[in-house]
Amino acid sequence: MYAIVKSGGHQYRVAEGQTLEVHLLEAAEGEQIKLDVLMIGGDDPKVGLPLVDGASVSATVLGEVKGRKILVQRYKRKKRYKRVRGHRQRYTRLQIDQIQIGN
């Protein structure tokens, strides 16, 4: 069984026991959180309008991680102007504990 959940404007397919990286959440390490369920998949799929009634996915926050480095460069030819900046997006790593199906 799997579920489609929404977090930070993105949708993720999750299963129990899976580790997932989502955009940074304001949650402490070790905290339990609930995610919005858009769809439950498996033998008896359920699609929400927009959310599945009574369904929830509980997850444990494992910590904060950084993504790969992205270089942003500005350049103007003939003017000796060049600026390079780096950026690393911060993510929250989640452990999916349980998928609960509503009645």
* Tens digits of residue pLDDT in 53-91: 989 999 999 999 999 999 999 999 999 999 999 999 999
Pairwise CA distance, residues 27 & 77, whole Å: 45
Residues 22-47, mean pLDDT to the nearest whole number: 92
Q: What pLDDT, in 10s, does the model give residues 4-25?
A: 999 989 999 999 999 999 999 9
State the Cα angle at 34 between 30 and 38, rounded to 5°: 145
pLDDT tier at 43, thresholds 50, 70, 90 = confident
- pTM for the whole thing? 0.81
Long-range contacts formed by 40-45: CB under 8 A, 24+ apart: 40/1, 40/2, 40/3, 40/99, 40/101, 41/1, 41/2, 41/3, 41/4, 41/13, 42/1, 42/2, 43/1
Pairwise CA distance, residues 59 & 75, whole Å: 44
Per-residue model confidence (pLDDT) at position 69: 97
pLDDT tier at 33, thresholds 50, 70, 90 = very high
